[in-house]
C-alpha cells in the first residue's frame, strides 16, 4: 500500500476540522434556508398589530416611507381614511393602524443572517462560509484515493448531482 500524499492528508485534516468548526453555522443556514422557502406564505409567522402617529395629510408614497412599508398600495379612499393592505391611515390625525407578520425572533435572526448582503455587517461571514463550502467541494475529492472503487463510485454520484443541478436550473 502506498503512503498518502502530504497534500491529500492535509486536505482531509482541514476538511475534517473545518467541518467541525462550521457545524453550527451549517445548521443555521440549513434551517433558515428551509424557512426561506416558505417566505411568501404565513408559515410560522405571527401577527403584530401596529398603531402609530405619523405626519398628517401624507400622500401614499410618503406614507409608504413613514411606515417603512416598501410595497404599500392604496386599496381605497373614503373621505379622510386611506386603506391599504392590512391597515389604514387617517389623514387628519396622522394615525396609522396596520398588521404585519413576522417569524419568531430566533428564526427571524437566522433568516436575516442567511440573506445578509454588503449593507449588513455580517456579509463577511457569508463570504467566508461560501468559500468554505467551495473548499468542501474540492477537498471531498481527496477523501479517498483515486484508484479505489469508492472514489470511482463517488465520481458517478458527482456527475449525477451535476446533471440534476443543471436540470433544475435550466428546465
Local confidence band at 162 (pLDDT 50, 70, 90 cut-offs): very high
Q: CA–CA separation, 125 vs 109, rounded Å?
A: 14
Structure confidence at residue 2 (pLDDT): 61
Q: CA–CA separation, 35 vs 19, rounded Å?
A: 23
Q: CA–CA separation, 33 vs 9, rounded Å?
A: 32
Structure confidence at residue 100 (pLDDT): 93
Q: 84-126 pLDDT, tens per residue?
A: 999 999 999 999 999 999 999 999 999 999 999 999 988 999 9
Could you tell me which of 114, 129, 116 has the C-alpha nearest to residue 19?
Answer: 129
Q: What is the CA radius of gyration of the chain?
A: 25
Mean pLDDT of 150-156: 94
Mean pLDDT of 54-81: 89
Structure confidence at residue 1 (pLDDT): 55
Structure confidence at residue 29 (pLDDT): 92
Structure confidence at residue 5 (pLDDT): 81
Mean pLDDT of 39-68: 92
Sign of the CA dihedral 76, 38, 42, 28? negative
Mean pLDDT score of the chain: 92
Local confidence band at 137 (pLDDT 50, 70, 90 cut-offs): very high
Amino acid at each position: 500500500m502506498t503512503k498518502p500524499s502530504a497534500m491529500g492528508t492535509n486536505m482531509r485534516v482541514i476538511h475534517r476540522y473545518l467541518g467541525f468548526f462550521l457545524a453550527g453555522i451549517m445548521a443555521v443556514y440549513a434551517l433558515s434556508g428551509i424557512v426561506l422557502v416558505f417566505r411568501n406564505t404565513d408559515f410560522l409567522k405571527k401577527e403584530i398589530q401596529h398603531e402609530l402617529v405619523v405626519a398628517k395629510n401624507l400622500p401614499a408614497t410618503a406614507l409608504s416611507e413613514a411606515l417603512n412599508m416598501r410595497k404599500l398600495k392604496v386599496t381605497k379612499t373614503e373621505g379622510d381614511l386611506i386603506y391599504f393592505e392590512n391597515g389604514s391611515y387617517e389623514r387628519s390625525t396622522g394615525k396609522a393602524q396596520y398588521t404585519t407578520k413576522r417569524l419568531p425572533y430566533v428564526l427571524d435572526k437566522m433568516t436575516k443572517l442567511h440573506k445578509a448582503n454588503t449593507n449588513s455587517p455580517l456579509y463577511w461571514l457569508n463570504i467566508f462560509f461560501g468559500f468554505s463550502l467551495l473548499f468542501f467541494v474540492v477537498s471531498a475529492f481527496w477523501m479517498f484515493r483515486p484508484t479505489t472503487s469508492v472514489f470511482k463510485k463517488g465520481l458517478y454520484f458527482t456527475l449525477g448531482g451535476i446533471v440534476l443541478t443543471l436540470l433544475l436550473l435550466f428546465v
